[in-house]
Amino acid sequence: MKYAIGVDIGGTKISFVLLKNSRVVETRKIATPKNKKGVIEAVEDNVKTMILRVPKSEILGVGLGVTGPLGKKRDVMLNPPNQKFLKGCPLAKIVERKFKIKTVMDNDVKCFALGETLFGAGRGAEIVLGITLGTGLGAGLVIDRHLYRGGSGAAGELGHMTIKFDGPKCNCSSLGCFEEYGSERFFKKMKYSPKELGMKAMAGDKKARQVFKEYGKYLGIGLANAINILDPEVIVLGGGIANVFQLFIKEAQKQIKKIVISPLAKKQVKIKKSKLGDFAGAIGAACLLWENKS
């Protein structure tokens, strides 16, 4: 039996898992440091702790999920929009040299999509689109249990698809990106975080419910565009905002019914909430080790 360590480096937290085949043996979660040195040290310290849990000879390797597009060889972060201090960082090489253990790296949301396909809400489907709704908005496409990465490795950047050409400026410098309407940034005009606003909405606050209805409208527009282009069987939504899935999904589905062109696609596609929760990305990152062997 082989073990794999998975690390998911998000904008606000870093999650770690120790996986033995499909079974999670241990999990850890910490706040994401705000500088390059802090992130590298945090990853090294927590990976070291997990390596010490089992015989090193039984560890297949470490999988890293990181933000933004990567180089074609998936060895360097090219342009992480929400963690610009990691631009150009060859984190997988750093970890591999430190521990002398195989280390692979991919986009964090691609890892989320892979984890949910193999062990979560997308299990059994041939085409799964995973989307995380959090600090940013990212996506990953899995076809026949393998990640689709595109010609340059950058496939899945749905967050930077323009859905309102005269909209606000995004961190990537474009205007009206899906990320501005589908991530936490949509709620920046409010006095509350999505979590706090969700609690108010669940308690019956009409204004809060209206905000989530508007959010669902924009989310639905973006999802409908993705369905028209990719025609997935299942869309899995994760990230912090997905925790209040019930507050926006009906409005999103209304937009999908209006915009998706194929009657078969409208009928077939299923939109589900993540089953693996906060550790979906880290589980998927660990699964990169098995994917790379096939």
> If pLDDT is split at 50, 70 and 90, which confidence band does 18 have?
very high
* Both tokens assigned to 103: 């280390």
Q: What would the DSSP string read from start to end of 134-201?
A: SSSEEEEEEETTEEE--SSS-TT-GGGSBS-TTSPBPTTS-BSBHHHHHSGGGGTTSSS-HHHHHHHH
> Is residue 294 over pLDDT 80?
no
**Residue range 73-101, pLDDT digits in tens:** 898 998 887 788 999 999 999 999 999 99
Mean pLDDT of 37-65: 95
Would you say 51 and 7 are in contact if contact means Cβ atoms under 8 Å apart? no
Mean pLDDT of 269-284: 95
Residue 68 to residues 37, 65, 118, Cα–Cα distance (Å): 18, 10, 22
Exposed/middle/buried for 103, CB within 10 Å: 0-12, 13-18, 19+? Answer: buried
Q: What is the pLDDT of residue 293?
A: 57
Mean pLDDT of 52-61: 93
> If pLDDT is split at 50, 70 and 90, which confidence band does 280 have?
very high
Q: What is the pLDDT of residue 1?
A: 60
Residue 72 φ then ψ, to 5°: -60, -30
CB atoms within 10 A of CB 72: 14
Share of the chain above pLDDT 70, in %: 99
* Both tokens assigned to 175: 């205007």
Please report, to the nearest 10 degrees, the dihedral formed by the alpha carbons of residues 223, 238, 37, 152 taken in order.
Answer: -40
> If pLDDT is split at 50, 70 and 90, which confidence band does 191 have?
confident
Residue 35 to residues 39, 68, 81, 86, Cα–Cα distance (Å): 6, 16, 14, 8
Residue 165 to residues 139, 175, 185, 284, Cα–Cα distance (Å): 21, 6, 17, 34
Q: What is the pLDDT of residue 81?
A: 75
> Is residue 43 over pLDDT 80?
yes
* Residues with Cβ within 8 Å of residue 223, at least 6 apart in sequence: 131, 235, 252, 255, 256, 271
Is the model more confident about 151 or about 268?
268
> Is residue 247 over pLDDT 80?
yes
Model pTM score: 0.92
Question: Degrees (nearest 5) of the Cα angle 231, 66, 49?
Answer: 130
> Is residue 227 over pLDDT 50?
yes
Exposed/middle/buried for 183, CB within 10 Å: 0-12, 13-18, 19+? Answer: buried
Mean pLDDT of 258-267: 97
Q: What is the pLDDT of residue 83?
A: 87
